[in-house]
A and B are shown apart, each in its own frame.
Chain A
Amino acid sequence: KQEVTQIPAALSVPEGENLVLNCSFTDSAIYNLQWFRQDPGKGLTSLLLIQSSQREQTSGRLNASLDKSSGRSTLYIAASQPGDSATYLCAAKGAQKLVFGQGTRLTINP
């Protein structure tokens, strides 16, 4: 049974810092790994999708990496901004479903 863990549960940093969010999964037999952003009271916005055959994906200031053998993914955010404040969720895709971590609540302080 797939289990996904995100560390830390909450993170507060000053504006402008680079930061890394961590995601680990127990079953390496995944099809892909997806990172989402959730703002309070809102839905999920897809940020990056990494296929199982890929090592990383980049979108703007965001870079996600995937190491299937060690069951880990990281989301790197460069030059953080107050608008980046949100909960970040990773989800591992197995057969017909995504298994989510519990999220990292990120606060960027101006």
Chain B
Amino acid sequence: DTAVSQTPKYLVTQMGNDKSIKCEQNLGHDTMYWYKQDSKKFLKIMFSYNNKELIINETVPNRFSPKSPDKAHLNLHINSLELGDSAVYFCASSQEFMGVNAEAFFGQGTRLTVV
């Protein structure tokens, strides 16, 4: 029973296209994230949502637009894809409460290749 699931796992697309990656968590967590792992394997946060509200936007180009229809879902839409967007994108979730921040769980990643 997958805790954090992302689709698709692989995405190959041409420059200029628009694409979406979906993420769902069944852990009942109130906070969800998108992270990007570049070619050097460095993981960096892109967005953080708490109860459907955007909390963090780490200077990500506005071609990237996250959407959270409910607190179990956080989708990532990317417009006008560029070669430099090629990376692995990870969705994650955690429960933030009473100042005690719990364990973060990650999805399996979406490998995006822009050609």
Instruction: Give A contacts to B, CB under 8 Å.
Output: 31-32, 34, 36, 38, 41-46, 49, 51, 87, 89, 91, 93, 96-100, 102-103
Contacts and interface: CB of A to CB of B under 8 A. Distances in A.
A43 B109 contact: yes
16 contacts: A31-B99, A32-B101, A43-B90, A44-B106, A46-B106, A49-B103, A89-B43, A96-B31, A96-B55, A98-B33, A98-B45, A98-B104, A99-B45, A100-B42, A100-B44, A103-B41
B42 A44 contact: no
Interface of B: 31, 33, 35, 40-45, 48, 50, 55-56, 58, 90, 92, 96, 99-109, 111
A44 B4 CA distance: 11
Contacts of B43: 89, 91, 100
Contacts of B48: 96-97
Contact of A34 (B40, B55, B103): B103
A87 B41 CA distance: 10
Nearest to B55: A96
Given A42-B108, A97-B33, A98-B35, 17 more contacts: A31-B100, A31-B101, A32-B101, A43-B109, A44-B90, A44-B106, A46-B105, A89-B43, A96-B50, A96-B55, A97-B45, A97-B48, A97-B56, A97-B58, A98-B33, A102-B40, A102-B42
Contacts of B45: 97-99
Contacts of B31: 96
B44 A34 contact: no
